[in-house]
Each structure stands twice: as C-alpha cells, then as structure tokens.
Amino acid sequence: MVAPPLSAPLDIAFDYTRSLGPVLGRFMTGLRAGRVLGSRTADGRVHVPPLEYDPVTHAPVTELVEVQSTGTVTSWTWTDRPLAGQPLDRPFGFALIRLDGADTALLHAVDAGARDRLYTGLRVRIRWAAERVGHIRDIACFEPIDGPAGALDFQKDEPVTIMTTPIRLSYTHTASADESRYLRALAEGRLLGQRCPVCRKVYVPPRVCPADGVPTEDEVPIRDHGTVTTFCVVNVPFAGQRLDPPYVVAQILLDGADIPIPHFVIGNADDVRMGMRVAAVWREPSSWTTTPENIAHFRPTGEPDAPYESFEEHL
Amino acid sequence: MSPPAVAVIGFAQAPCLPSAGTTSGVETLVPVFREALADAQLDRREVDFWCSGSSDYLAGRAFSFVNAVDAIGAFPPICESHVEMDAAWAFYEAYVKILAGEAETALVYGFGKSSAGQLRRVLALQLDPYVVAPLWPDSVSVAALQARAALDAGVVTEQAMAEVAARSRADAADNPYAQVRGPIDPDAPYLADPLRAHDCAPVSDGAAALVLASGDRARSSPRRAWITGVAHRIDPQGLGERDLTRVPSATEAATAAGLPDDLDVAELHAPFTHQELLLRAALGLGDRVRINPSGGALCGNPMFSAGLARIGAAAQQVMSGRARTAAGHATSGPALQQNLVCVLGSEAS
Amino acid sequence: MRAAVLGTGQTHHRTRRTDVSMAGLCREAIDRALADAGVDWPEIDAVVLGKAPDLFEGVMMPELFLADAIGAAGRPLLRVHTAGSVGGATANVATSLVRAGVHRRVLAVAFEKQSESNAMWALSIQPPFTAPIGAGAGGYFAPHIRAYIRRSHAPGHIGALVAVKDRQNGALNPYAHLRQPDITLESVQASKMLWDPVRYDETCPSSDGACAVVIGDQAAAEASSRKVAWIRATAMRTEPTFFAGKDHVNPRAGVEAAQALWHAAGITDPLDEVDTAEIYVPFSWFEPMWLENLGFAEAGHGWKLVESGETRIGGRLPVNPSGGVLCSNPIGASGMLRFAEAAMQVMGRAGEHQVAGARTALGHAYGGGSQFFSMWVVSDIAPASV
C-alpha cells in the first residue's frame, strides 16, 4: 500500500491598498458622506457604480451626479450559507439594484430576512455602515423599504484617495508522490534523490526531470554533505523574511546529486566561499516531520575546498 | 475562400476528478502530453511552439505556471508562451503563430487544481476590485443573478434548465473523463436560488492538451480536424451595466469565426445550465445541432482547461467521422463575459 | 506579412502612483501611444494585455474588469503572462496577430501597480514542504552574478559602472522613476551592500507604471504620417527554472533566442549592425552577462564593452539609453518598455536620450529564473522580406 501524497494548508493574506483616481475617489468620498454619486456619460446615462471611461467615446468621465439612496431590485439570488467576507453572516440575497436616478444597477447584499421577501421589483434602500471610511462597504447592505430609515452621522472633509481591501484565501497544497517519499525520508533524517532514466542525472528533491519531461525513478541516497557552488550575503530586510540579516544563502551541491539546493550557511559570512565544503545541521530528531525544515542550516566542515572545475558546470 | 491552413491533429485530457494531482500540475500533465503527442504521431521535439493557459490564483501563488514547464522537458530550450486565461485562448495564440508562419506545429495545454482553494470564493477576485470584489460575491451567486434575469425575461425556464442538466448527465455516461453522471432530482434544493446543484458545474481538477499543425504537416498526420475559423470577443464586465440575458461577445465571435448554418455538433463551455440556453440563442444554434455529446462542462469543469477541452471534444467528433462540422466554444470571466468560438470541419474546403 | 510599431506610450513611473486607478494607469500609457501613432479607437482591431503575477494587484485576471476602460470591449482581448519577460512577449504576440494577417492594428499594453501590495510579499509566499530559504529577489540572482564574476574574471567595479551609466541616462528620460544626474562611481560603491555582491545602487526600484504600443500591418504603416519602427524579427525561448547542468550565468534559452532573432533579421554581426539596445537589466551586472548571452561579445568578455565605455550613449553600442530597468521597474511593463524604447530610437522620438543615427535597435526582456526570453529587432526601413 503506497501512502497517499502529502498535503498541507497554504493561507495567503494581504491588505491591498487601492489607489482610486479621480472618479472612484469622488465616489468613495461620497459614500463616506452618505451620498451616492454616479458618472454621466456622453449619451446622458448615469452609471452607478461609476464608469471611469465612457464606453462609447472612450473619453475620461468627468461629470458625477448624485442619485438617490433608494432603488429597485432588478435581479437577485439567495444564499443560506454566507461565505467568508460577504456583507452579512446570516442568510441574505445578493442583488442587482438600480438606484433611483441611475440607469445601471449596482451589485450588493439585501438583508431581506427570508428568501420569499426578496423579488425582482422590490423597493430597497441603503443601510449605511455605522462607521464609514470611503469604501464600497460603507453601504452595509440594502433593506426593503418598510421600516424606519436609520440616521446618518456627520461627514469628514479630506477626499478619499485610497481604499484598503483585505484578501484572505485558504488553499490546500498537494505534493507529488515522489516528493512525498522524499519528505517522509526527511522525517527519518534521510536525504533521498531520484535518477532520471533518460539523462541519468540525480535530482534532489525528486521531480519530473525538467530537461526530459519524464518522472525520475531509481531512488538514490544522498549524503548530507556538499559543496557551496555559489552564494550571496543577504544584508537587506524584506517582507516575509525568516532570519535577521546578515546571513548567507548558498547553492549547495550535495554529494551524489546533480543539482544544487539553496540553503543557509551559518558561520562567519566573510569566510564563506565558492567551493567550500559544508554539512547539514539537523534539528533535534524529536522535532522531525515531513519537511525540509528538519535541516536548520549548513555549517563549514573544515575539509579542503572542492576545486572550481568540480562544480563549474553547476553554476 | 482559401482553404484552412491549420488543423487539430491530436487531443488528450486527464479525467475530471473532485480532487486529484499536485498543485503544480506537472505530474498530471506528463501523461496528457504523451497521449496527445501519440494521438498526433508527433515527437515532442517536433513541436515548434508550446502555449499554455492557467491561473496563479487557482494555485494560490505567484508564477505557478513556471513549474509546469518542467512537464515538457524543456531542455534544449523551446519556443513557448503562456496566457493567464483558459487554454482555449492559448489555442488561439498558437493558431495565430502558425498562421503567421512562425511555427508549423504547436502543443497547447491547460491545467489547474480547482479544488486547491474554495473556487467559488477565489473567482470573486475576477470582479471589479473597487466596487464589487470587496463584497465577495461568489461565482455561483453571480451566475444565479444572471439566471434570475434570464428567467424574469422569459428567455429560459427552470424546466429547460433541468432538461439541460438531465441530457448532459445522460451523455456523460459514455464519457470516461466525466466527473458527474446519472439522473438528476429536479426538485433538489437551491445552491443559490434559482440554481440547484445540477445547474452548476462541479469543481474539477484536470488538464488537457491539444496538438495543432499547419497544412502539409496536418495532411501527413493520421487524423485531422481542419480549423475553418476561430474568433473571440469580450463584453464589458459590469454586471449591472450589461443585459445579462444576452451574450453579444459570443454572437460576434460566432459571426467572425464563420459559424455555419449546417453545424452538426457544438461543444459549449457552459458551467451553468442557463448559460447553455443563453449561448444556444446567442450562437443561433437550432434544434438539429447536437449539443455537448461529451456531457460538457456541467459534468466536468477543470478550470483553465475546460474551454480547450471543448475544442478538443469537437475536434474528436470530426476526427472520428461522427461529425462533418463541429464547433468548440470557451468562456471566461463572470456571467459569460468573454467567449471564443472555433469552427472545425472534416474537409480542407 | 510585415508589421511595424506605429506609436508608443508610457506613464510617468513612480513608487506609488496613488493619483490613478489601474484603469487610469493603463489609459495614461494607451492614450499616449494612440496619439503617438496617430490612431483613433475605431481603428484598433484587438487588444493584448500583459502583466506579471495577479497576486501583485490582488485581482484575478484584471483585464476582465478593465476590458471596457482599455477599449477591449467588443474586441478580441488576450492576456499574456510569461513572468518578467511578459512585456516583451505581449508585444510579440501582438506582432504575430498582425503578421498572420488577422488584424490591421493591434494595441498592446502592459502594466504593474506594485503599490497595491508588496511584491516581495507576493514572491516570498512559502508553499508547504519547501525550505524557507528567503533571500528576496536580489538574493536569487546575486549568486549567479558571483558566478559570472568568477567565470569572467571581471573587475569588481563593472556593476557600478553600469549603474552610473543607466542612472545618468535615466536623468535624460522624463518618464523614468529614478533620475540621478549626479550619481558617481564612488557614490554607487559607497551605497549599502544588499545582496553581496550586489549594492543598493545596482538594483532596480519597485515602480507603478504602464507601457503601450500600437502595431500595424504594412498598409497601416504606410498610411501613417509619422515615422514607424519596422519589426524585422521577434524571438522567444524558454527553458526550465532548474535542471541538472543549467547554466545560470549564460542560459542557453537566451543564446538560442538571440541566434534565432539575428538569423531571422539577417544580422550576422550584431555589435556592428545594431545601433542601440534596450536590455532587461534589473541588477547592473546583468548588462555584461546579457551582452555575452545576446552575442554582442564573446563569453567572458561582455564586461570589457562596459569598462571601455562602449555601452554609453555615444559608444559603439549604447545600452539602455532610457535608463532601463535600473531606473524604472513596473515589472509587467518593464519588458514592453524595452521594446518600446527600441522602437522610439529608430523612429527618432527618444528625445534627450536619443542615440544619434539609430536605425536598428534591440528590445530584450527575460523572466523567471533566467528562463523566459523575448526579444525583437526594429529598424527604420522595412525588411526586404519576412
């Protein structure tokens, strides 16, 4: 029985900063003030949300006009199980809503309470967010026009030029069967390579041979000693960094492999050189799992340097 | 009219599965390339141009397509390009490359692990990033807004939608690559009103590859489907700007591609039942045209290769002699925003 | 069929173009390109958009929402993504559309709005099961630069010489992000060592920016009232990121792309026959490396052209008279900027950074781990045959 390929979560998250430009900037500034602006194109139509460029003349749109905060549902759907990030966390309907005074429809959520209360032609009005910053979510949602309207709070003066949009996504990253075998060997403190049946080169980690497009097959044990082919000293801090600079990132050609791997060389940065012999420093065996992180870094062994000619073809 | 200069000479696909393969796609692509090239009786070193379609957001990381080049075996170096679109548009790029005389043969491929993320949420990032995407309208809800508009306008009915689902699943019974088969429950609960589960394509992992060749090369291959026309167009995205019940970009693409009146088969890339109905109207397909004998995207929708697979399935209809003329269609973006039509025929005119 | 660049346009490149949206950024370049070409919207048959990773802007396939604003609605629209080479690849795809006889005039546009996020963040997302060896963008290329220095025995100041030249050239370019007329060899060598052996002043900035070109067929070119840049040849080659025996210093994909390019253009001695070159140099040391890769110099000798001053404006082969990627780097657009600047030179419309008498010019881009190459050669006279 072959163990299934390994998989693990991969979450990505960033708060994107969107610069708005003249049209969207005025639109968002309006929302913060509790007003909805549409753009008027050359044919006289009023677009909400606003268009930045006239679809017929291609000219930049400059005229913005205020429309009502009430409107009519032109299409709708209903969701019983809202997804992360959506405007409401209870059952609601996404709808296209044409605001009074506009010629086009805006997509937003309608807090109708129940599916059978939402229909094409329903009259709705904006429910403003309690705190407004100049963002499409300053409109909390729409609601049917049958209850009292909420009050609007004060408005600020500075024009809105940037909006922030958090994007959070969760993925499952799946490794290949060959890579999984390699990772499981790592969990036992072993390095595993595989040989391409065509070019006979040994790949670590194992993979489809990128030169020949065929899976590598024969397993080849790889020693955790190797040669620095080339390297750089990282002196610069940057987003996502794990070590404090300065540190050395080297290409290390492991003994028995035909392709170098990148890794840290810890020692005196000034002493690291091309051809230097190094050995893996493993973390505590009790902490080993199916990850290359079991090797913390490499350290100089003190052996004589490998001659340039011995690794020249791996640069 | 001059005879067509380019033909499809090979096609292969991976089975559509709810979850299969690596995020990189490499291991899935290796056998698909082998099969497509064998189908075309071409060695990989005889491929002049490689072109692929995929998406970083499907994999959740930047430059995700770069790794897939490993599946080709790209050393010595190759002539290659990539579109961040369904591979049907990579097919178009390769077709043009051959027309321009810059290549005689091409292999086009698409791949993607749709199941790696929450697809309907990931696809919300295709929407306007200022006024729409921050509300995270998922792809099924967006399609439902279109379906509702079409129902309200009377251009589709729930019964016609259910019939599309039933026919597709029945046809998929004979398709070993399909993910979904068998009967539907017309009263199944709504996924996003008015769309029920059977109105929506499944989330599929997969890949497809298609081989193209110019005139003389095509004539020397065992089987071929001549490309008599390919065209694509895009509509504005604004969901409240356009009439969601019409698909002008599909109509214009069909006209530009020369979609004939006597078409035998059409493979339409319609991930939702109402979209097949809208497309049939937009393309002017009458009752005699056999729609989606493969079961279509409703029975397997591997993102970024499903459109290419429609062209491949249409080409197979012609190459096998089951059809004299066939059309493959691909769509991209929310609510059928972008559409491509490829017309294939058995005769070099 | 022949094809020519009818016009080019680009934005003012800055760290943050917070005054414009993504559509506004693209239109700034597009509107300039249309005006430069003397072409109006109805004459555009198709649009090709190029951009690097979608994670930079946090929009999946942004050309979909941009379709209307960039004039693609109702037209064919392609979206190209070939890593850092994408700007060049986008221009090449547009060229193929014209050469194939499919379209008469095609608009190619490339952009990057890096200030929407942080490119270093997007590029350093660590997938599971990989070693967290973060070195940053420069950290990927710096070891290969070290290998070049070892292999070619180049003196240590070559990289600084390139930086001085490009930043001074950038000062002649009104659109450049970094314009440093007073930069000196000493000031570059005194700048902070970031990724040893690469110093701060030897690295490209992070920019918001866009570039556009209008490409037309022979009839469109002949109908143009302005000078055009005839596209003599295009070439693209790819190899894997890593494989056993990969030459990271002088990648074979680049060598073969250049050979194919010179052959198709009928050029036998590029150093002699090319008047100026816009080469994708994000780290200064890549100028001598690519001079060798492209066949302007023998392997190991590229640095001698730099040292002798031959790559300055006025030299035998002015390289990056615009200031190049070292002065402006809106990643997805950087390649197209090289292609457009080459065209501007042979059209005689490069302004203060015009190379006198430039009649044949190279535009070059590369991407990924030195694995995707795209290039074109443009001339002021139509090629004899294609």
Q: What is the mean pLDDT of residues B135-144?
A: 98
Query: Burial letters for A269-292: b for 16+ Cβ neighbours within 10 Å, e otherwise?
Result: beebebbbbbbbeeeeeeebebbb
Assign A270 a pLDDT band (cuts: 50, 70, 90): confident
Q: Does B131 touch chain C (CB under 8 A)?
A: no
Chains near B with 3+ CB pairs less than 8 A apart are A, C
pLDDT of residue A151: 65
Task: Measure the CA–CA gap between B21 and A208, rounded to whole angstroms.
Answer: 14
Q: pTM of the prediction?
A: 0.97
Assign C329 a pLDDT band (cuts: 50, 70, 90): very high
Which among C51, C76, C100 is the nearest to B233, CB-wise?
C76
pLDDT of residue B251: 98
Please check whether residue C200 is in contact with residue C342, taking contact to mean a CB–CB distance below 8 angstroms.
no
Assign A150 a pLDDT band (cuts: 50, 70, 90): low
d(CA A267, nearest CA chain B) in Å: 32
pLDDT of residue A155: 60
Q: What is the mean pLDDT of residues C150-169?
A: 98
Contact residues on chain A for B128, CB-CB shorter than 8 A? 49
pLDDT of residue B258: 97
Task: Measure the CA–CA gap between B291 and B267, rounded to whole angstroms.
Answer: 6
Site from A48, A75, A162, A199 to mutate, B interface, most B CB atoms within 10 angstroms: A75
Q: Is the pLDDT of residue B1 over 60?
A: no
pLDDT of residue A153: 64
Assign C383 a pLDDT band (cuts: 50, 70, 90): confident
Contact residues on chain B for A17, CB-CB shorter than 8 A? none
Q: Is the pLDDT of residue A152 over 70?
A: no
Q: Do A106 and B130 touch (CB under 8 A)?
A: no
% of residues, chain B, pLDDT over 90? 95
Q: Is the pLDDT of residue C60 over 80?
A: yes
Q: What is the mean pLDDT of residues A255-261?
A: 96
Q: Do A169 and B61 touch (CB under 8 A)?
A: no
A140: enclosing H helix or E strand: strand A139-144
C214: enclosing H helix or E strand: strand C208-217
Complex prediction ipTM: 0.97
Q: Is the pLDDT of residue B326 over 60?
A: yes
Site from B114, B136, B337 to mutate, A interface, most A CB atoms within 10 angstroms: B136
Q: What is the mean pLDDT of residues A111-117?
A: 95
Sign of CA dihedral A114, A119, A122, A126: positive
Please check whether residue A173 is in contact with residue B37, taking contact to mean a CB–CB distance below 8 angstroms.
no
Q: Is the pLDDT of residue B349 over 60?
A: no
Interface of C with A in 151-170 (CB under 8 A): 151
Q: For domain C3-119+204-379, give its CATH number from 3.40.47.10, 1.10.3090.10, 3.40.50.720, 3.40.470.10.
A: 3.40.47.10
B19-63 pLDDT tens trace: 998 988 999 999 999 999 999 999 999 999 999 999 999 999 888
Q: What is the mean pLDDT of residues B318-324?
A: 96
pLDDT, chain A, mean:
94
Please check whether residue A132 is in contact with residue A69, taking contact to mean a CB–CB distance below 8 angstroms.
no
Please check whether residue B263 is in contact with residue B156, taking contact to mean a CB–CB distance below 8 angstroms.
no
Q: Which CATH superfamily is domain B6-117+201-345 in?
A: Thiolase/Chalcone synthase (3.40.47.10)
Site from C11, C113, C129 to mutate, A interface, most A CB atoms within 10 angstroms: C129
Sign of CA dihedral C165, C167, C168, C173: positive
Contacts of C245 (CB under 8 A, 6+ apart): A201, A211, A258, A313, A314
Q: What is the mean pLDDT of residues C159-173?
A: 98
Q: What is the mean pLDDT of residues C351-377?
A: 97
pLDDT, chain C, mean:
96
Q: Do A258 and C130 touch (CB under 8 A)?
A: no
Q: Is the pLDDT of residue A2 over 90?
A: no
Q: Does C299 touch chain A (CB under 8 A)?
A: no
When mean pLDDT is compared across B115-119, B137-141, C124-128, the lowest value belongs to C124-128
pLDDT of residue C217: 98
- The domains of chain B are located at 6-117+201-345
Q: What is the mean pLDDT of residues A75-101?
A: 97
**Axis-axis angle for helices C286-293, C136-152 (nearest 10):** 60
pLDDT of residue A147: 67
Chains near A with 3+ CB pairs less than 8 A apart are B, C
Assign A154 a pLDDT band (cuts: 50, 70, 90): low
% of residues, chain B, pLDDT over 70? 99
C232-291 pLDDT tens trace: 999 999 999 999 999 999 999 999 999 999 999 999 999 999 999 999 999 999 999 999
B84-119 pLDDT tens trace: 999 999 999 999 999 999 999 999 999 999 999 999
When mean pLDDT is compared across A200-209, A242-251, B181-190, C155-164, the lowest value belongs to A242-251
Q: What is the mean pLDDT of residues C329-335?
A: 97
B229-253 pLDDT tens trace: 999 999 999 999 999 999 999 999 9
